[in-house]
Amino acid sequence: MNTIERVYSSNRSTWVGDGFPINSMLPMHEIDNEKSPFLVMGYTGAYEFSPTNHQRGIGMHPHRGFETVTIVYDGEVEHFDSKGNKGQIGKNEVQWMTAGKGILHAEHHSKAFAKTGATLDMVQLWVNLPSSAKMTEPRYQELTEGNISEVQLANNSGVVRVIAGEYIQDDQSHAGPALTFSPMNVWDVRLNANREQSFNLNPNWSTKIFVLSGDISIDEKTYGAMQTLYVSTDVSSVKINTLSNAKLLILSGELLNEPVFEHGPFVMNTEEEIRQAFADFRNGDF
């Protein structure tokens, strides 16, 4: 059995507002239950912004029925929403926003980042909610560098930062701080060059490996930056060899096994629920 079932390569970038150049590594047109609970993943790459007095970003926009997970590798991003919540995340920090029954929010570069100009390097992931939680109250989880578990791998192979779920090493479980509505693991993995590292997986879950930077090989096949690796079903372990320093995002989760209907900023279970979301948005019910 091949460890990697298929590969998706992101070969173009689109802009979200004027602040986020996004490479779609889980493209929206492929949203389905096969990928659920992970729906969409966009990566900026390491993008250099010049100094400005304008806070680049995207203005108020709605979401319902899922969660957004913003992982900042470098730079600073701030947000505010229709309920008056404000926050800012910087290097090695994560914002886990549950849109639930509906929220309007805006995302921009921080004032300090805009003023000095610098490198923005970040991921935004959409995580589906099970039908029982689609209309839950919105919430935020601000995960700082200090409360994200960091596991040092053996033989100076690198580190695993456990954002959600758990990572087990030497029979010791390291738990991530994020609260989730369905079982999943979200691992921020930084590997050193010329190392071999194995990762144990749940064979009943859907697993994706995002190569954000560097070059790796699996089963003697080479993969590089901006590639998404779909791990075959029933695979319980993957062995990764690094050809250079590499930054990976490894996602695995239990399939929700529910219908997925998406239109723009809404992800629900039926077309009728999508129509209702648009009606509630127009009526100011978010």
- The CATH number of the domain holding residue 153 is 2.60.120.10
Residues 156 and 123 in one domain: no
**CA–CA distance, 17 with 281 (Å, rounded to integer):** 20
Q: Which residues of 162-186 are buried (b: 16+ CB within 10 A; e: fewer)?
A: bbbbebeeeeeeeebbbebbbebbb
Q: Which of 110, 118, 122 is nearest to 76 (CA)?
A: 110
On whether residue 277 sits in a domain, the answer given is no
pLDDT along the chain (286 residues), means of 10: 92 90 86 77 96 96 97 97 90 97 96 97 97 96 94 97 97 97 98 98 96 98 97 96 98 94 94 97 90
pLDDT of residue 29: 72
On whether residue 266 sits in a domain, the answer given is no
On whether residue 153 sits in a domain, the answer given is yes
pLDDT of residue 286: 84
On whether residue 270 sits in a domain, the answer given is no
On whether residue 272 sits in a domain, the answer given is no
**At which residue do the structure tokens 């997925």 appear?**
260
Residues 156 and 238 in one domain: yes
pLDDT of residue 40: 92
Strands 261-263, 227-231: pairing kind = unpaired
Q: Which of 106, 123, 143 is the last residue of a domain?
A: 143
pLDDT of residue 61: 95
**CA–CA distance, 231 with 252 (Å, rounded to integer):** 10
Helices (H), 18-161: 111-116
Residues 210 and 240 in one domain: yes
Total of domains in the chain: 2
Q: Which of 205, 236, 240 is nearest to 221 (CA)?
A: 240
Residues 173 and 133 in one domain: no
Helix (H) or strand (E) holding 280: helix 271-282
Structural domain range at position 215:
146-253
Residues 128 and 154 in one domain: no
pLDDT of residue 83: 82
Token reading at 21: 């150049």
| Beta strand segments in 144-193, E | 149-152, 158-164, 166-169, 172-175, 184-191
Residues 40 and 100 in one domain: yes
pLDDT of residue 188: 98
Q: What's the angle, vertex CA 88, arms to CA 86 and CA 92, rounded to 5?
A: 150
pLDDT of residue 36: 76
pLDDT of residue 75: 98
Token reading at 78: 């701030």
On whether residue 194 sits in a domain, the answer given is yes
pLDDT of residue 248: 98
**CA–CA distance, 58 with 106 (Å, rounded to integer):** 6
Residues 163 and 186 in one domain: yes
**CA–CA distance, 98 with 196 (Å, rounded to integer):** 36
Q: Which of 143, 176, 200 is the last residue of a domain?
A: 143
On whether residue 279 sits in a domain, the answer given is no
Residues 138 and 166 in one domain: no
Token reading at 29: 């047109």
pLDDT of residue 33: 61
Residues 31 and 124 in one domain: yes
Residues 170 and 190 in one domain: yes
Helices (H), 54-120: 111-116
Q: Which of 112, 143, 174 is the last residue of a domain?
A: 143
SS3 154: helix
Residues 75 and 188 in one domain: no
SS3 63: strand
On whether residue 198 sits in a domain, the answer given is yes
Residues 182 and 240 in one domain: yes
What are the residues whose beta carbons fall under 8 Å from the beta carbon of 29, sequence distance 6 or more? none
SS3 246: strand
| Structural contact between residues 43 and 22, judged by C-beta atoms closer than 8 angstroms | yes
